Amino acid sequence: MPGVTLPLDSYRLAQQAAGIPCYICEEGNTYDVEFCHSCGAPMALAHQANSQKICPRLIAVLGASAAGKTVYLGMLMDMLSRREDRYKFCARGAFSITLQQLTTTALARCEFPPKTPNEPDRWNWIHCQLQAPRDREPLELIVPDMAGEVIFEELDHPQTSPLVRSYLGKCTGIMLLIDAIKLMEGSQSHDYMAMKVISHLAELDRERKRGWRRPVAVVFTKADQCEPAAANPDRFAQTHAVGLWRQCRDRLSLYKFFAVGMAGACAWRSIGHGGRVRVPLRIEPHGVLEPFQWLQEQVQAMRVAPG
């Protein structure tokens, strides 16, 4: 049988053999893997970052389970993508639109989106580019929808989640979401959890005496069903989240309180085996853009600040 000569795609083989660092934890991975073998972050973030000159900034959205992180992020992306002013917003990568699609589809059916899975490789990530009219260069941001249980497992037992640990260490700004209804009802669990976040952030910074020096937007969610939070977020924090308010005052250099609402009205729907689930009757977003815009302005100022 005559011999057959097959050309070797040497360039491709060398490319796949060479390691590429994860953008979040910086561990090396082979070129063709989808998720980082160490922390579980999508490697698409690293490929996109390597293909451009702008270095993406990391924003962390933290909060207890059912605080409203998925709904807030999904609605935020939907509102940003539909703005008709000179403010430019562009989602980078098809995966960055998944959370927006998931949230708006669920709300259109008068449902809230499903709970975020605990497995990091099943989280939805957002990589977007924003540019305000007065900014010379666009701002690249990466924001994951992290599961509340995984966040607080890392806070209570450090080193359990490489992704959360690496992400918080590198993030430029924080959005801390707290269920206003729970606080209004007298439940202190969300206050305690928020205090844990602030304490952890303060200890992450190298200059601990000055506390966490990066911006933190403290957002009371479900304010459409909690009038005191919607009317005055600062006073609501001092009245119903005293521990959190003191932690912010003593351990944060730059913070601001906000209140957001998504549903104009909610109801309870019965499900099997005697259970029930809260569902939105209508969608009336309120205060969604304000905390994000404030955080963006602070991050932008940090980027252009001398030194």
Helix or strand run (H / E) with residue 217: strand 216-221
State the pLDDT at residue 261.
92
**132 burial via Cβ count (<10 Å: 0-12, 13-18, 19+):** middle
Residue that is written with structure tokens 């059912």 in the block: 66
**Could you give the domains of the chain?**
52-304 (3.40.50.300)
Q: What's the predicted TM-score (pTM) here?
A: 0.87
CA distances (Å), origin 230, targets 19, 92, 107, 224, 284:
49, 33, 22, 7, 14
Q: Are 101 and 109 in contact (CB under 8 A)?
A: no
Q: What is the dihedral of CA 54, 37, 39, 214, to 10 degrees?
A: -20
State the pLDDT at residue 52.
76
Question: How far is Cα 133 from Cα 138, in angstroms, rounded to an integer?
Answer: 10
Mode of pairing for the β-strands spanning 255-259 and 261-270: unpaired
State the pLDDT at residue 232.
96
What is the per-residue pLDDT across 33-78, written as a single tens digit (0 to 9) for each?
999 998 999 999 988 888 777 788 999 999 988 899 999 999 999 9
CA distances (Å), origin 82, targets 75, 238, 304:
11, 35, 28
Q: Are 224 and 68 in contact (CB under 8 A)?
A: no
Mode of pairing for the β-strands spanning 139-144 and 57-63: parallel
State the pLDDT at residue 209.
55
Q: How many CA atoms lie within 13 A of 238 on its CB side?
A: 6
State the pLDDT at residue 307.
35
pLDDT of the chain along its 307 residues, tens only? 556 555 555 545 445 555 799 999 999 999 889 999 989 999 999 888 887 777 889 999 999 888 999 999 999 999 998 887 777 888 888 899 999 999 999 998 988 999 999 999 899 999 998 887 777 778 889 999 999 999 989 999 988 999 999 999 899 999 999 999 999 998 888 888 899 999 888 887 655 555 678 999 999 999 988 999 999 999 999 999 999 999 999 988 899 999 999 887 777 888 877 778 888 888 889 999 999 999 988 988 876 443 3
